[in-house]
């Protein structure tokens, strides 16, 4: 009898531990699986190791850091049940504008000769601020006029891209100061990404801001009845998403040490892909920043792996699209499973 009770208790404990397993665990296993597949294929087709090349892994992490910064903001938007298609264009716009006030006095074609050699905090703050304003406009349109997020952010996507092209009539902005470029050198983009992820992981999980964000995504009417100012909170969420896109634009310009109007093209889709792959539900109310971080790394591993195997870039885009659709399909079935239970 005691043996049966002990066995039952042990099985209950095992089941309970499985239930307490964080949802990111399965996503992490997918990451490991993809990396191991590339490792095996690397030895078969290339004769090299994919994982044991530190330079390749460093470049991969640096490449996805900007997408990760954007994805942290997009995660919050999608948790509320919305979408943000403007982030890539905001990256291009803020990269151009911030770079224009980050030029050195030694550069002969400075856009604003009287505003050269400014402290790095000025162009960084300007880029982040403009991103914040763009996100605030998105939030106002969605919350006050009740325009669907898809349409509101699509409009901002087109407008911001137009601004980035108009600002210098399509000409690149170069001759940036070393002080400004510093934020894009070495592992600093990765540090910025991880700090941003940590801040908003804490905000979403342990603060009232996070509770309101999840509540709106789960059931907007219930959130409103419980006393949450839904409109004000949505504006805040979209403003933060815009701010992070602005920060990503600054980092992008600093990494490249120049700014071009075409920067950030398709970044919004990569950020959405990283968010969905990371377990955030497009129906709202479900998602974590930690999952988004893993989803971002998965995108980076896939891109780096395809390049490593010398797969044509066109095929890479096709596979990326298939994975996005597959992640959404998995999310749909996951939501149906939750409703049944």
Task: Of 320, 284, 340, give the one whose Cα is nearest residue 82.
Answer: 284
Q: What integer is the mean pLDDT of 55-83?
A: 94
Per-residue pLDDT reduced to its tens digit, 172-186: 999 999 999 999 999
Torsion of CA 311, 317, 318, 321, to 10 degrees: 140
**How many C-beta neighbours within 10 Å does residue 305 have?**
21
Looking at every residue in the chain, the average pLDDT score rounds to 91
Q: What is the pTM of this model?
A: 0.91
Per-residue pLDDT reduced to its tens digit, 217-236: 999 999 999 999 999 999 99
Q: Residues with Cβ < 8 Å from 307, sequence gap 6 or more?
A: 316
Instruction: Say if CB 180 and CB 103 are below 8 A apart.
Output: no
52 versus 69: the higher-pLDDT residue is: 69
pLDDT at 111 over 70: yes
> What's the domain range around 127?
49-333
pLDDT at 2 over 80: no
pLDDT of amino acid 5: 43
Residue 328 domain-assigned (yes or no)? yes
Per-residue pLDDT reduced to its tens digit, 7-33: 444 444 444 444 567 778 889 998 999
Residue 4 domain-assigned (yes or no)? no
Q: Report the 3 state secondary structure along 90-156.
A: HHHHHHHHHHHCCECCCCCCCCCHHHCCCCCHHHHHHHHHHHHHHHHHHHHHHHHCCCCHHHHHHHH
CATH of the domain at 125: 1.10.3470
pLDDT of amino acid 17: 46
pLDDT tier for residue 91 given thresholds of 50, 70 and 90: very high
Q: What integer is the mean pLDDT of 106-117?
A: 94
pLDDT of amino acid 19: 57
Instruction: Say if CB 273 and CB 320 are below 8 A apart.
Output: yes
Residue 341 domain-assigned (yes or no)? no
Identify the bridge partners of residue 176 per DSSP, sorted by sequence position.
103
**Token pair 């934020």 in the structure block, residue:** 183
pLDDT tier for residue 325 given thresholds of 50, 70 and 90: confident
Max CA-CA distance within the chain? 89
Cα separation of 198 and 268, whole Å?
Answer: 21
Cα separation of 246 and 237, whole Å?
Answer: 14
Residue 285 domain-assigned (yes or no)? yes
**How many C-beta neighbours within 10 Å does residue 6 have?**
10
Which of 171-187 are b and which e, b meaning 16 or more Cβ less than 10 Å from the residue's Cβ?
eebbbbbebbbebbeee
pLDDT at 341 over 70: no
Residue 214 domain-assigned (yes or no)? yes
% of the chain exceeding 70 in pLDDT: 93
pLDDT of amino acid 233: 98
Cα separation of 206 and 190, whole Å?
Answer: 24
302 versus 323: the higher-pLDDT residue is: 302
pLDDT at 197 over 70: yes
DSSP 3-state of 279: coil
Residue 310 domain-assigned (yes or no)? yes
pLDDT of amino acid 1: 45
**Token pair 């006393």 in the structure block, residue:** 227
Using alpha carbons, list the distances in angstroms from residue 255 to 71, 93, 160, 266.
18, 16, 21, 18
| Terminal C-alpha separation, the chain | 32
pLDDT of amino acid 339: 64
Using alpha carbons, list the distances in angstroms from residue 191 to 51, 61, 160, 173, 194.
21, 11, 27, 25, 5
Q: What integer is the mean pLDDT of 108-122?
A: 95
Q: What integer is the mean pLDDT of 120-142?
A: 98
pLDDT at 4 over 60: no
| Composition of the chain by helix, strand, coil, percent to 5 | 75, 0, 25
Per-residue pLDDT reduced to its tens digit, 245-294: 999 999 999 999 999 999 999 999 999 999 999 999 999 999 999 999 99
Instruction: Say if CB 180 and CB 52 are below 8 A apart.
Output: no
Residue 339 domain-assigned (yes or no)? no
Domain count, the chain: 1
Residue 33 domain-assigned (yes or no)? no
Lowest mean pLDDT among 50-54, 70-74, 313-317: 313-317
């Amino acid at each position: 009898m005691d043996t049966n009770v002990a066995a039952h208790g042990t099985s209950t404990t095992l089941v309970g531990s499985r239930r307490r397993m964080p949802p990111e665990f399965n996503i992490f296993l997918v990451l490991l699986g993809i990396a191991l597949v590339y490792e095996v294929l690397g030895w078969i087709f290339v004769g090299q190791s994919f994982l044991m090349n530190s330079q390749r892994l460093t470049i991969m992490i640096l490449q996805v850091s900007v997408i990760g910064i954007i994805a942290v903001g997009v995660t919050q938007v999608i948790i509320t049940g919305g979408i943000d298609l403007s982030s890539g264009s905001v990256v291009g716009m803020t990269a151009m504008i911030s770079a224009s006030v980050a030029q050195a006095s030694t550069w002969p074609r400075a856009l604003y000769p009287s505003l050269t050699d400014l402290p790095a905090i000025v162009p960084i703050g300007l880029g982040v601020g403009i991103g914040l304003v763009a996100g605030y406009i998105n939030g106002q349109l969605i919350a006050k006029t009740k325009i669907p997020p898809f349409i509101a952010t699509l409009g901002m996507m087109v407008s911001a891209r137009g601004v980035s092209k108009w600002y210098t009539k399509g000409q690149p902005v170069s001759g940036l100061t070393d002080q400004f470029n510093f934020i894009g050198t070495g592992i600093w983009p990765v540090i910025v990404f991880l700090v941003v992820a940590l801040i908003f992981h804490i905000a979403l999980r342990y603060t009232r801001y996070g509770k309101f964000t999840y509540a709106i995504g789960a059931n907007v009417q219930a959130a409103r009845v419980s006393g949450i100012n839904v409109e004000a909170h949505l504006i805040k969420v979209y403003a933060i998403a815009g701010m992070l896109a602005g920060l990503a634009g600054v980092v992008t310009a600093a990494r490249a040490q120049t700014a071009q109007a075409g920067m950030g093209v398709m970044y919004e889709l990569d950020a959405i892909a990283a968010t969905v792959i990371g377990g955030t539900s497009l129906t709202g109310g479900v998602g974590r920043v930690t999952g988004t971080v893993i989803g971002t790394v998965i995108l980076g591993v896939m891109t780096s792996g395809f390049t490593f195997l010398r797969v044509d870039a066109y095929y890479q885009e096709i596979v990326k699209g298939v994975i996005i659709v597959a992640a959404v399909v998995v999310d749909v079935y996951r939501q149906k499973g939750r409703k049944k239970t």
